Structure 1
Amino acid sequence: MKKIIYSLLGVAFLFSACEDRLDIEQKGVISFDSFYKTDDDAQNALNNLYQSFCLNIAGNEGVYVALPVLFDEAGDDMLAAGNMYGDNDFGAQINEFRYDSQNEVIRNTYWGLYGVIYDSNLVLDNISPTTPVKKRVCAEARSLRAWSHLMLAIGWGCPPLVDHILKPSDKPANNAVEGGHNGLLEWCAKEAEEAANDLDERENPSDKVGASKVTKGFALTVAGKARLFKGDYPGAKTNLKKVIASKKYELVPTARWANLFHASGDLCEEMIFQANALENPGIGDWSNKIQRTSWMWIQFWNWRTDKLASKPSFIGPDGWGGHSIRADFAERMLANDGYSTRRKATFLTSDEFLYEMEWNGTKGLNLTREELEKSDKIGIKDLTGLYGFAGYFANKFVAWPEDNEKGWYGFKNLTIFRYAEVLLMYAEACAQTNDSDGLQYLQEIQTRAGSAHVSDELTLQEVKNEKSYEMWLEAVRFPDMVRWGDTDGIVNNGKDIPSTLDAFFTKGEPKHRIYVEKANPNKGKTGFVKGKHEYFAYPFAATSINPNLKQNPSGE
């Protein structure tokens, strides 16, 4: 893909606005009027849109990749963690439902999505689909715009629909779409369905380029998800079955399940679309002030290894310990999966943490279990323990050394859709319509996971359970809970916050023993409130400049 530089268009816009003052021909500048004419212009504009996507969605303006933090932190399966209470509080506010309209996770996600919409509209307002190339370019832009509106609808209910470049005086209202939330979801579905007709298809499951750009598979997945959230289950089945029937995607083998969340899994056969930060020629070095997907992703999600007796060998850089897995969820998954490949790649039990990991402090010593139980080179050495940890150790997104090959900030693509989610969404749509066709795909997910439980019938509850295990921390759980009405498990978020300690260090016991203590540092009201927290607050930065943007209950 050709590289387009932001400053080029920026300078063009600047001088096109000043033509009446400056008649001197500018050197090395493409005027706005002379751009968007050829197929190459169209492709370059599209490349700029992909750069925008990497920066707004897979990059960050804050200190993390905002979108997955927002949609994961509010779920019933994880805890906000860190060095101590108040650390990483931007995430803890979401997890404990004590955020307001100035929360930076909310702001960055909201503006990032509208940033992609703006650059999509820049393409669509200026390029006429008069050639095959221009038709494809416009279809890719429409699909990314539809996805962005879909995520906004999932997160904010019925935010402004922006299908063209706005004038400075425009103040679009929310709840303005006919049909409200469902009307916006219908618009997203139709946009993606129509765009699919002009999109390339992935060549085959090994086609890496086809996983890094918008294809028919991506557009149909967007449409299927929009219809699923709308409750149009027959329509969702139609779109999602087309993705399955294309045979352009496959589940990776069981042995590679963990790799899906690391650099070695980027653009593999299971990926439908990833924000391609790794092979994107427009992503510069740190000196260019462009932050890659895994720069602060690694920092936020990795364990605080400074609190351990020595560093586990499988972990790349140190982190802030920004998340952990809830004990009740871990116990449900352990009962369901047993010692499956998927479960152990998702989280470790305390025994696995102590004795099945390789620790740098004992590396090469070949210590017996009895010797390890008494070693001061393993375990949680810090006397305050691991704040926010509940006795289990999240493993899924803890960065490996391979994710850190480019320096401490690292490289890793951000997954937007993978094939497993398509199979689970299709299985749900089938369960909702008493169609047994979805059972085979539910079983395919479970068998690949190595799970101890494989469903013998297709029910909505079976799909709900399986999706919670397979898609943990992939920005789907909280929106699913809201649309299913399954929010009882988060009404007490923010209470009884755990810390995990090691009695070998804290109590001087002769052997390691992991235990949990709980505290209640929050003094105000916390936890999910029905009728208030289904949708996030509109950022103050948006409502303060747009009087037509009515605040959601969560921001009032």
Structure 2
Amino acid sequence: MKATKKQLSIFLLSGLLFGSISSCKDFLDLAPLDNRVEQNFYKTEKDAQEALNSVYDALQWHTNAGGGGFSPDPMMSDIASDDAFAGGSSRSDSPDMIQIDQHNMLTTNSLTRVYWANHYTGIYRANLLLQKLPDIPMSEDKKNRIAAECKFLRAHFYFDLAKWFGNIPLILAPQSPGEYCSPAAEPAQMFGQIALDLIEAFPALEKADLRTSKAHATRWSAQALLARVYLFYKGVYNGDLQAGSTPVNAAYALQQLKDVIDNSGHTLLENYADNFSKANEFSKESVWEISYSSDNPWFDWNYIQGGEGNMQPLMQGPRINGDPNYNSGWSFAPVTQELNNAFEPNDPRRGATILSQADDLSGAVSTGYQHTGFFSKKYTTTNEYRPINGQYELNWGNNYRSIRFSDVLLMAAELEVTTGGTQAQTYFNRVRDRVDLPGKPATLANIYQERRVELALEGHRYWDLLRQGLTVANQNISIQNKRGPGYVGDQIDFNVTFNPATRGLFPIPQSEIDQCAGVLKPNF
């Protein structure tokens, strides 16, 4: 089951707001390429639904019309953490990805520019639909649901941006030429608005699983995301949130998680590895999932985001030939020995998480840059996802499981510990019992360790390190003169030094600072 995505007329791309204005001035001057323009759109319920699909569409993007490389968020955050290196074919394959790995990012990094532009495009689309929605003839219930989904998605885009860039502009309405440059909001204002969007979305979102909602955000998705937002803000900025008139503290965040645990119907799959199979997309364990598909076969390398494929599995797949189970990829994000060692000896999650050259692959593996002998097994080039039609590289349909129920349980356990509750051990035990591991006390240290192995290579480790503080991030990410037995290459390739001066942030793209000189300032 996949979410439907419609290809809308060119006007939806022309309002990328200031986040990509520097690369599309000529584009904005073009006449409309078809007869569907803003002046005759947003008139019917069908138009509103197509516009909502276009907001969801931006969740899928790992590149954009301006080019500059591929930036899957989960993979980039794993590379920034101690769970993966940059990888690729050689040192010259993706210097910008190596900058992320080495924590030495330049303001001209093309991946950060792509990431910035894509997310602000999604925000623009959500803002425009929210502005137009009141005048579209349809039932109030449907208007409320579409508005709620727009707010969930806007919160989702802003949370991604705020994690990576820190202080960024907060824009809540479509902008016109001359308004593109906005100063950065303070973190309390930004995260407060993210929380407010989610809380305002609660009442109109379906209390359903993702199969019933047809991959649209649900009430449970929004409640779980709010808890994640709170935990990140609390850890990094050491404060609670104010969402309009609603104070969001640990007790409030925990209340949302308990509602998901007790009333949503979500639960753990019996077999951990099943979470990442095609048959278990939108499973009972998946609280929020980003949909990809090969149903719309795509060929155009110049407009990759026009398709619905996921670039991350192809990028992370091993460079292999002749294996009966796995297809050739680009070998980005090779997994570290440290992650392999983090699992307990009998933990079955290691085998479900890490694709081992020695244990899992029978074909001929070509050695890439920063080769470790380990690859991601959760999002990779398995036969069941191999594209049948379209360009091989552009049509991988692996969905991204953004929030799993096990994450909900571990967030709830963490908040129970910090608030002095009594359910931390119960929630913690559920996660370990699923994989038949012996009991451990539900301390904060053990919960963080459990998060590392339970959620490994799903894009969460980096943020968990940052919210424990820059000292903890530095201690774990900085590695000098350490090699695993399968490492191939010079030692310098595997040395990493975290830079606390950056606070773990991406630099705001230089093109945006130049465009908005004096208004938008560097973030470090």
What TM-score, normalized by structure 1, do the two folds share?
A: 0.78
The offset of 1:152, in angstroms, is 1.4
Query: Is residue 357 from structure 1 mapped to residue 360 from structure 2 by the alignment?
Result: yes
Aligned partner letter, 1:237: L
Q: Which residue of 1 aligns with 2:23?
A: none
1:26-105 → structure 2 map (5 Å cutoff): 29-30=35-36, 32-55=38-61, 61-105=67-111
Q: Which residue of 1 aligns with 2:202?
A: 196
Match of 2:397 among 387, 390, 411: 411
CA contact (8 A) 1:389 1:499 kept: no
Query: Is residue 537 from structure 1 mapped to residue 523 from structure 2 by the alignment?
Result: no
CA contact (8 A) 1:496 1:518 kept: no
CA contact (8 A) 1:54 1:275 kept: yes
Aligned partner letter, 1:243: V
The offset of 1:3, in angstroms, is 6.2
Match of 1:150 among 152, 156, 159: 159
SS at match of 1:167: coil
Tell me how large the CA RMSD over aligned residues is.
Answer: 3.2
Query: Is residue 160 from structure 1 mapped to residue 169 from structure 2 by the alignment?
Result: yes
For residues 463 and 57 of structure 1, the distance between their equivalents in structure 2, rounded to whole angstroms, comes to 35
Q: Any stretches of 5+ residues in structure 1 without a counterpart?
A: 14-25, 361-377, 501-513
For residues 88 and 253 of structure 2, the distance between their equivalents in structure 1, rounded to whole angstroms, comes to 39
SS at match of 1:128: helix
For residues 195 and 372 of structure 2, the distance between their equivalents in structure 1, rounded to whole angstroms, comes to 40
Query: Is residue 313 from structure 1 mapped to residue 324 from structure 2 by the alignment?
Result: yes
Query: Is residue 482 from structure 1 mapped to residue 452 from structure 2 by the alignment?
Result: no
Query: Is residue 234 from structure 1 mapped to residue 251 from structure 2 by the alignment?
Result: yes
- Say which one has the larger Rg: 1
Question: CA-to-partner distance for each residue in 1:184-230, whole Å, 9 max, x for gaps?
Answer: 2122112101111111221x5xx524261111112212222222223
Query: Is residue 519 from structure 1 mapped to residue 491 from structure 2 by the alignment?
Result: yes
Query: Is residue 285 from structure 1 mapped to residue 298 from structure 2 by the alignment?
Result: yes
For residues 143 and 57 of structure 1, the distance between their equivalents in structure 2, rounded to whole angstroms, comes to 22
Q: Which moved more, 1:324-333 or 1:136-145?
A: 324-333
For residues 539 and 73 of structure 1, the distance between their equivalents in structure 2, rounded to whole angstroms, comes to 20
Q: Which residue of 2 aligns with 1:17?
A: none
Aligned partner letter, 1:549: L
The offset of 1:48, in angstroms, is 2.4
Match of 1:347 among 334, 354, 373: 354
Query: Is residue 223 from structure 1 mapped to residue 226 from structure 2 by the alignment?
Result: yes
Q: Which residue of 2 aligns with 1:136?
A: 145
Q: Which residue of 2 aligns with 1:300?
A: 315
Q: Which residue of 2 aligns with 1:213?
A: 216
Match of 1:250 among 255, 267, 270: 267
Cα distance, 1:454–1:499 mapped onto 2, change above 3 Å = closer
Match of 1:269 among 276, 284, 288: 284
Cα distance, 1:293–1:28 mapped onto 2, change above 3 Å = closer
The offset of 1:114, in angstroms, is 0.9
Identity between Structure 1 and Structure 2 (%): 22
Aligned partner letter, 1:444: R
Aligned partner letter, 1:536: F
Cα distance, 1:97–1:230 mapped onto 2, change above 3 Å = closer
The offset of 1:418, in angstroms, is 2.2
The offset of 1:2, in angstroms, is 7.3
The offset of 1:324, in angstroms, is 1.8
For residues 419 and 11 of structure 1, the distance between their equivalents in structure 2, rounded to whole angstroms, comes to 35
Q: Which residue of 2 aligns with 1:446?
A: 432
The offset of 1:145, in angstroms, is 0.3
Aligned partner letter, 1:474: E
SS at match of 1:417: strand
Aligned partner letter, 2:510: F
The offset of 1:52, in angstroms, is 3.1
SS at match of 2:501: coil
Question: CA-to-partner distance for each residue in 1:114-165, whole Å, 9 max, x for gaps?
Answer: 1110100011111118711111111100110011111111111121111111
For residues 299 and 148 of structure 2, the distance between their equivalents in structure 1, rounded to whole angstroms, comes to 32
For residues 80 and 260 of structure 2, the distance between their equivalents in structure 1, rounded to whole angstroms, comes to 30
Aligned partner letter, 1:540: Q
For residues 357 and 420 of structure 1, the distance between their equivalents in structure 2, rounded to whole angstroms, comes to 26
The offset of 1:322, in angstroms, is 0.9
Q: Which residue of 1 aligns with 2:239?
A: none
SS at match of 1:69: helix
CA contact (8 A) 1:65 1:293 kept: no
1:372-451 → structure 2 map (5 Å cutoff): 385=367, 387-390=369-372, 392-407=374-389, 408-409=392-393, 410-450=396-436
CA contact (8 A) 1:66 1:108 kept: no
SS at match of 1:87: coil
Cα distance, 1:395–1:33 mapped onto 2, change above 3 Å = closer
Aligned partner letter, 1:226: V
SS at match of 2:60: helix
Q: Which moved more, 1:428-437 or 1:57-66?
A: 57-66
Aligned partner letter, 1:114: Y
Question: CA-to-partner distance for each residue in 1:69-126, whole Å, 9 max, x for gaps?
Answer: 3222110222222333333333221011122112222222222111110100011111
SS at match of 2:334: strand
Q: Which residue of 1 aligns with 2:243?
A: none
SS at match of 1:441: helix
Cα distance, 1:220–1:295 mapped onto 2, change above 3 Å = closer
For residues 88 and 36 of structure 2, the distance between their equivalents in structure 1, rounded to whole angstroms, comes to 48
1:460-475 → structure 2 map (5 Å cutoff): 460-475=444-459
Aligned partner letter, 1:157: G
How many residue pairs align between the two structures?
A: 480
For residues 384 and 484 of structure 2, the distance between their equivalents in structure 1, rounded to whole angstroms, comes to 29
Query: Is residue 7 from structure 1 mapped to residue 9 from structure 2 by the alignment?
Result: yes
The offset of 1:61, in angstroms, is 5.0
SS at match of 1:80: coil
Q: Which residue of 2 aligns with 1:18?
A: none
CA contact (8 A) 1:71 1:477 kept: yes
Cα distance, 1:399–1:443 mapped onto 2, change above 3 Å = farther
What TM-score, normalized by structure 2, do the two folds share?
A: 0.82
Q: Which moved more, 1:292-301 or 1:224-233?
A: 292-301
